[in-house]
Structure 1
């Protein structure tokens, strides 16, 4: 089953995400935390929007970087369309997360011993 979201704003509002699992994943993101999503075959970075001044969470993510230009173009030209959406993990993000598993090897002694390898 292909998960979809409607192009309805310059941001993606959680209520427009069809998948309950992805919706909950997005809600769990802290303010200004990023997530990589593939939308209609294009991978880009999205940022959880800040909580409002009234203390209520903003239930949306906004595109960042190149994805901002892509989504803006889609919003102008494809508003109302449903596009596929799924979370993806980039190699850089994967390596950062895996490196946290081996913190016991991250010492000045190990750096000195193995830096030339």
Structure 2
């Protein structure tokens, strides 16, 4: 399901996607620190759930991670502040025998540093 939103902040608040019930519910039900993959104008990237507590209660949102943070920052500074969002399925490395074998020999692939450096890569 694809939804269009305005880029209003450094993060995506659940309130920004209230018109998209599937995405709204997904944001609200994620645990803080849990990640989700989103396509933003066709660029695939990782986002992490954040919760902010203030006098009005708890606000739920997503913060971009790694390369997606730079992509989001550039979109936020552009004149056209609307983007298309789509929830992506999680990457299942265990369905590919080769990746499963390689993963066991390269634990650094599962590091935060790796995600920051290569998380925004996508096929040409």
Q: Same fold (TM over 0.5)?
A: yes
* 1:5 Cα deviation from its structure 2 partner: 1.7
Question: Distance in 1 between the 2:33 and 2:59 partners?
Answer: 11
Residues 30-88 of structure 1: per-residue CA shift (max 9 Å, x gap): 0111100001111110011134377x433111100000000011111246x22111111
Structure 2 unaligned segments of length 5 or more: list them: 96-124
The structure having more radius of gyration, on CA atoms, is 1
Structure 1 unaligned segments of length 5 or more: list them: 99-117
The Cα RMSD (Å) is 2.4
Residues 5-50 of structure 1: per-residue CA shift (max 9 Å, x gap): 2101010011111311110111000011110000111111001113
> TM-score, normalised on structure 2?
0.65
Deviating 4+ runs (over 6 angstroms) = none
Question: Distance in 2 between the 1:39 and 1:47 partners?
Answer: 14
**Given the superposition, is the C-alpha separation of residues 87 and 15 from structure 1 closer, same or farther in structure 2, using an over 3 Å criterion?**
same
Aligned equivalent of 1:23: 24
Aligned equivalent of 1:8: 8
Aligned equivalent of 2:40: 39
Question: Distance in 2 between the 1:2 and 1:89 partners?
Answer: 13
> TM-score, normalised on structure 1?
0.68
